[in-house]
Amino acid sequence: MIGVPRVIGKLRRPGRVLLIVSLFAGVCKAVPREAKRRPAPGVILRLTLGFPPGLTVPLPDVAVAPMLFAMTTMKAVRIHQYGGPEVLTYEDAPKPEPAAGEALILVHATSVNPIDWKVRAGYLQAHIPFKLPLILGWDVSGVVEALGTGVSGVAVGDEVYSRPDVSRDGAYAEYISVPAPLLARKPRSLDHLRAAAVPLAGLTAFQMLFDPSALALANGQTVLIHGAAGGVGTFAVQLAHGRGARVIATGSAKNESFLRELGADEFVDYNTQRFEDRVRDVDAVLDTVGGDTLDRSWGVIKRGGVLGSIAGQPSAEIAVKHGVRGYFAMTQTRTADLDELGRLIDAGQLRPIVGEVLPLSEARRAHEISQTGHARGKLVLRVVG
Ligand SMILES: NC(=O)c1ccc[n+]([C@@H]2O[C@H](COP(=O)([O-])OP(=O)(O)OC[C@H]3O[C@@H](n4cnc5c(N)ncnc54)[C@H](OP(=O)(O)O)[C@@H]3O)[C@@H](O)[C@H]2O)c1
């Protein structure tokens, strides 16, 4: 008779369910795909043979990686309450199931955007119905692992990237389930780390600059871009330059040569110069800073021009006074725009600027950096590998 199996070692965080599964289902030999890249969850069992009576014969130890455990939990960074970076908790969380119309993505990388720490701090509670505990992170690059019913146009194994729905769990996790219409093919020329830097910031810059209702920037026009060295700004400088616009960038002195390399024709160091003393009669301003920077921008725009901000709501009254259009919008996940960003990237006309890569487990550190408001380009979190 086989004695009760004893757990003598952990492959990774075993739970009671593991033992039950292994007793009824026997030793699970199949190793889940992701287990090739990281230690599989499971236990090491010691079995003994209790026959003939009075004799106990040890059997070889067995490593068990129960599929059930692998399928139901994952590593994630969640918040259980609003607060400072310390509320970010790296822990086991339920692995999502793809609902109808959704694809389950094995997340290779995600990136940090200012919205992440604004949500974490509770600043957006009144606007978006979050449910706690919440997984943050609304950029993803990864591989489709499973499909819900009724999905077309996406297949298991596809390399995809996306800006998932901000009102749902994000991508600071090993898995995320995303409605298939929000997915686009990852740019072929980028690895997942760099691809994860693109969706939210790239879409924001692209839509603010080129949407007809936004800046509708055209060849030959002049645009002033505030916060040019940031996540959105680094995309905006390249995109505007690529469209044939004259680009004036604001930033601190350390970023001048970097921004000129990206396509800025002129540079204003906001620490030592007032941009309104250097700039006048531009066709458009793209403001990613808000506050005083937004308020001081009206006077540098020619009549008939446009002030677009992603960091503050331009006053309609002041806009009328200056004969300028004010515009604010939230970024939309449009696959056509993601495809166009991918096309520009693969054609060598656009590149994500990745300032720093940290492992998912260091999300707190990433938030501290993002919250300084002085990160260059994007902060990426490596999830797999
Ligand atoms: N409405 C939307 O849908 C939407 C979408 C995306 C982002 N946003 C918001 O837009 C803002 C920018 O996002 P982001 O991802 O680009 O942020 P970010 O990466 O954190 O921006 C940091 C950059 O801002 C620059 N900066 C700081 N103060 C500045 C100033 N006074 N003048 C010029 N540059 C300054 C810094 O340059 P230096 O280091 O040189 O100082 C730094 O490179 C955030 O508030 C974000 O929440 C809104």
pLDDT tens-digit series, residues 236-289: 999 999 999 999 999 999 999 999 999 999 999 999 999 999 999 999 999 999
The number of the ligand 1 atom at minimal distance from the alpha carbon of 227 is: 34
114 within ligand 1 shell (Cβ under 6 A): yes
Phi first, then psi, for residue 73 (nearest 5°) are -130, 160
CATH number of the domain enclosing 279: 3.40.50.720
The pLDDT of residue 2 is above 70: no
Q: Would 23 be classed as within a structural domain?
A: yes
Residue 61 pLDDT exceeds 60: no
Q: Is 226 in the pocket of ligand 1 (CB under 6 A)?
A: yes
**Across 35-44, 80-89, 138-147, 236-245, least confident range:** 35-44
- Say if residue 22's pLDDT is above 70: no
What range does the domain containing 113 cover? 73-198+352-382
Q: Is the CB of 250 under 6 A from ligand 1?
A: yes
Q: Is 210 helix (H, G, I), strand (E, B) or coil?
A: helix
Half-sphere exposure of 305 (CA within 13 A, CB side): 21
The verdict on 182 and 254 lying in the same domain is no
Pocket test for ligand 1, best of 112, 252, 267 (most atoms within 8 A of CB): 252
Buried-exposed string 98-134: b where 16+ CB fall within 10 A, e elsewhere: beeebbbbbbbbbbbbbbbbebbbeeeeeeeebeeeb
The H or E element spanning position 12 is: strand 6-12
Tell me how many domains the chain contains: 3
CB half-sphere exposure, 275, CA atoms < 13 A: 29
Residue nearest to atom 33 of ligand 1 (CA): 227
Same-domain status, 210 and 193: no
- Report which secondary-structure segment, H or E, holds 131: none
Tell me: do 184 and 213 sit in the same domain: no
Find the CATH number of the domain harbouring 129: 3.90.180.10
Same domain, 38 and 106: no
With a 6 Å cutoff on the Cβ, whether 84 touches ligand 1 is no
CA distance linking residue 139 with residue 199, whole number of Å = 6
More confident residue, 16 or 64: 64
Q: Is 374 in the pocket of ligand 1 (CB under 6 A)?
A: yes
User: Which mutation among 111, 112, 113 tests ligand 1's pocket best, with the greatest number of atoms within 8 A of CB?
Assistant: 113
pLDDT at position 60, please?
61
8 Å CB contact between 79 and 87: yes
Is the minimum distance from the CB of 204 to ligand 1 under 6 angstroms? yes
The pair of structure tokens assigned to 367 is 């938030």
Q: Is residue 263 part of a domain?
A: yes
The average pLDDT across 311-317 equals 97
Q: Are residues 191 and 86 in the same domain?
A: yes
> Does the structure show a pLDDT above 50 at 374?
yes
Query: pLDDT tier at 385 (50, 70, 90 boundaries)?
Result: confident
Q: Is 207 touching ligand 1 by the criterion CB < 6 Å?
A: no
Same domain, 212 and 308: yes
Q: What does pLDDT average to over the chain?
A: 88
Residues 41 and 79 in one domain: no
In this predicted structure, the answer to whether residue 32 has a pLDDT above a threshold of 60 is: no
Say whether 202 sits in a helix, a strand or coil.
helix
Asked if residues 383 and 110 have their Cβ atoms less than 8 Å apart, the reply is yes
